[in-house]
Structure 1
Amino acid sequence: MLLSCQKNSYLKELEADVVSCESSQFKIDKKKVQGYEVVLSDTVLFPEGGGQPDDRGRIGDVPVLRVEWRHDKAIHFTEQRVEVGARVHVVVDWVRRFDHMQQHTGQHLITAVADGEYGYQTTSWVILEAHASGASIDLRHTPSRVAGPQEQVVHLEDLINEHIMKSVTVTVVRARGLPDGHVGPIRVISIDGIDCNMCGGTHLSNLSHLQTIKLLGVEKGKKGKTNLLFVAGERVRKYLAKCVTREKQLTSILKAGPDQHAELTDKLQKSLRLATRNSLSLLRDVAVLEAQRHLRSGDQTTRLFSLHRKEGDVEFMNIVANEISEQNKDTLMFLTVGDEKESGFFLLSGPQEAVSSLGSSVCTALEGKGAGKAGRFQGKAGKLSKRGEALRIIEEYMRQTQAEK
């Protein structure tokens, strides 16, 4: 059956009878919720389908958390029971609904113009839930038509908004000749003189209600397809508001107007890459110096070398370990890098027997994850604040082995 929300997409509320209310478990944001499946004699809440998300609203005072099709019925999911046989007032969340109508009708318009101008066929589409994020259309194309995609996007956007300016009528009509296996009537959405397409979703009655459409560009999709991103209606204003906020933030940070943002950001990136390379080069030199300082100290009776460096990285530890082990393979090294109060990395290197015996214990003490091979055990330390505890385990092992000898 056709629901009232399909007969009149602008209908915001109605009276209906509760046909059934059964216990059910369903998912909301990937979490299981214990509640009820409610079937009404009619509804203004559109079930999810055809790329359009489902509506939200209320049955009396009971919030509706989801709506979905089941055969030819709309199933309303609630956390509270609704009395069977009761006459109830059903209200749709109109802000959410109208946003979906704008994006859905916008998709029909974009699809029709893209097909007519360039032969791009829409294979699927999706509305992104975040209001300023827009929607995405998957277009199938041939390689020869990929040339100049930005020019095509600009041209499509101009044509699309010309149709909006003309206030073209959008109507819903019935169709005969139903496909095999279909239950109930078929709805056809007609954009006068532009498009005529089967669709069960909710739509605007006039393209002027779209206000405007902004094509955000294209990106490579799966299986040779192209994803066309867009925002329509109120989402354009929200998207623009986010852009203006970011622009103001960048102006404050860069101390320059929007026209210079790209140029200054490029210069900053180049400077950062150069500084990073210089920093890494210096860090490698420090690693070699640390190893040489230990080797020159002459105090290697304990055969244990412990070092922590906040600014170091995994390569820093490996350089130190390589430098020392090349000249003294009997030295057991416990090296860590990173913020002492946060997570970081560790390396235990030296005699294979000692490393094999201590690796797991040290890793556990640091609340980390790691693995060992050929005289080295390294990994990520969950808490470098536990470094002292790990060092005590190593020192205790060294004392025991010395005593046994």
Structure 2
Amino acid sequence: MVFKCQEDSFLTEFRSRVVSCEPEGTGYQIIFEDTVLFPEGGGQPTDHGWVDDLPVKSVIRKGPTAIHFVEGTSAPFQPGQEVRQRVDWERRFDHMQQHSGQHLITAIFDREFGVNTKSWWLGTEDSYVDLDTKDVTREQLDKVERICNQLIVDCTAVSVAVYQPDDPALKSDVTRATRGLPEDVSGPLRVVTIDGIESNMCCGTHVRNLAQLQTVKFLNVEKGKAKCLVHFLVGGRVLRKLT
């Protein structure tokens, strides 16, 4: 299932009906017909937000279902009840900037130097890409950062398309292979495209244009036996670092 938050990353409110509301730990887990709150996945942390006036601090995906956790001692909603979902936009947009920035950084390292990204991490302070190489030089960092920021200045478009798994266009339109989808993923697949740069399967929320990233800045490199972690900031995190 493609959730409402994946259809439109900029949608901040949505009304949906409750499918189930069951006790879980110190609160309740709630399933809706659809959701504007992004469930953790693809390296991107969960959205925070509200269902009516109740705070939601965790959303996870289980197969085609998003499970929302709220605190409380009594069931807040009944099946069939319509509620209003709201997104913590500051958190969401920050994650969109970091995630789209990661796609861009990964694509440019691959295009310019043939260096693959093995994984990535979106942290609360900074993020990193785990590069499949023993060394990254200062010259390489400077070149990738310069290209990324020029593509931002150029207002490069970012788009999302949805395919059925058996669509022959899926293979031809994806220029960089996914690291592997979870086994419980079925149904439509999303492909995120940075115009003229790359296309990649991804479940996360993304910007519509690289201009919305504002800027990309590399911080430092951690070198391991056969990998390098390149730490970076995108957008608002760069501005906050300077103040």
TM-score with structure 1 setting the length: 0.54
**Where does residue 17 of structure 2 map in the other structure?**
17
Q: Could you tell me how far apart the structure 2 residues matched to 1:173 and 1:105 are?
A: 15
Consecutive unaligned residues in structure 2, runs of 5 or more: 167-180
1:155-166 superposed matches below 5 A:
155-166=143-154
- CA deviation after TM superposition for structure 1 residue 240, in Å: 1.4
Describe the shift of the 1:156–1:11 C-alpha distance in structure 2 as closer, same or farther (beyond 3 A).
same
Q: Could you tell me how far apart the structure 2 residues matched to 1:111 and 1:23 are?
A: 41
RMSD of Structure 2 on Structure 1 (CA): 1.5
Q: Could you tell me how far apart the structure 1 residues matched to 2:64 and 2:44 are?
A: 17
- CA deviation after TM superposition for structure 1 residue 210, in Å: 0.3
Q: Could you tell me how far apart the structure 2 residues matched to 1:93 and 1:206 are?
A: 21
Q: Could you tell me how far apart the structure 1 residues matched to 2:240 and 2:22 are?
A: 39
1:207 aligned onto 2:210: yes
Aligned counterpart for 1:192 among listed residues 190, 195, 211: 195
Asked if 1 retains the 8 angstrom alpha-carbon contact of 2:165 and 2:189, the reply is: no
**Where does residue 116 of structure 2 map in the other structure?**
121
Asked if 1 retains the 8 angstrom alpha-carbon contact of 2:165 and 2:187, the reply is: no
**Where does residue 3 of structure 1 map in the other structure?**
3
**Where does residue 86 of structure 2 map in the other structure?**
91
**Where does residue 232 of structure 2 map in the other structure?**
230
Identical counterparts, % of pairs: 46
Q: Could you tell me how far apart the structure 1 residues matched to 2:129 and 2:27 are?
A: 34
Aligned counterpart for 1:109 among listed residues 100, 104, 128: 104
- CA deviation after TM superposition for structure 1 residue 136, in Å: 0.7
Q: Could you tell me how far apart the structure 1 residues matched to 2:14 and 2:64 are?
A: 19
Q: Could you tell me how far apart the structure 1 residues matched to 2:106 and 2:65 are?
A: 29
Q: Could you tell me how far apart the structure 1 residues matched to 2:67 and 2:42 are?
A: 16
Task: Output one character per residue of 1:81-120: Cα deviation in whole Å (capped at 9) or x when no partner.
Answer: 3312211010000000000000000000000000001111
Task: Output one character per residue of 1:153-186: Cα deviation in whole Å (capped at 9) or x when no partner.
Answer: 1111101101000001100012344588641210
1:150 aligned onto 2:150: no
**Where does residue 175 of structure 1 map in the other structure?**
163
Q: Return the letter of the residue paired with 2:4.
A: S
Higher relative contact order, structure no. (Cα contacts within 8 Å, ≥ 6 residues apart)? 2
- The alignment partner of 2:242 has SS state of helix
Q: Once superposed, which parts of structure 1, at least 4 consecutive aligned residues long, lie more than 3 Å away?
A: 176-182
Q: Return the letter of the residue paired with 1:83.
A: F
TM-score with structure 2 setting the length: 0.89
Asked if 2 retains the 8 angstrom alpha-carbon contact of 1:38 and 1:82, the reply is: no
Q: Return the letter of the residue paired with 2:159.
A: T
Q: Could you tell me how far apart the structure 1 residues matched to 2:23 and 2:47 are?
A: 21
Hey, which of these two has a bigger chunk of helix by percent?
1
**Where does residue 176 of structure 2 map in the other structure?**
none
Asked if 1 retains the 8 angstrom alpha-carbon contact of 2:62 and 2:184, the reply is: no
- The alignment partner of 1:11 has SS state of coil
- CA deviation after TM superposition for structure 1 residue 127, in Å: 0.8
Describe the shift of the 1:90–1:181 C-alpha distance in structure 2 as closer, same or farther (beyond 3 A).
closer
1:9-88 superposed matches below 5 A:
9-25=9-25, 34-80=26-72, 81-84=75-78, 85-88=80-83
Q: Return the letter of the residue paired with 1:233.
A: G
Asked if 1 retains the 8 angstrom alpha-carbon contact of 2:63 and 2:185, the reply is: no
Q: Could you tell me how far apart the structure 1 residues matched to 2:18 and 2:158 are?
A: 32
Task: Output one character per residue of 1:244-276: Cα deviation in whole Å (capped at 9) or x when no partner.
Answer: xxxxxxxxxxxxxxxxxxxxxxxxxxxxxxxxx
Q: Which has the larger radius of gyration?
A: 1
Task: Output one character per residue of 1:6-37: Cα deviation in whole Å (capped at 9) or x when no partner.
Answer: 00000000111011000012xxxxxxxx1110
- CA deviation after TM superposition for structure 1 residue 219, in Å: 1.1
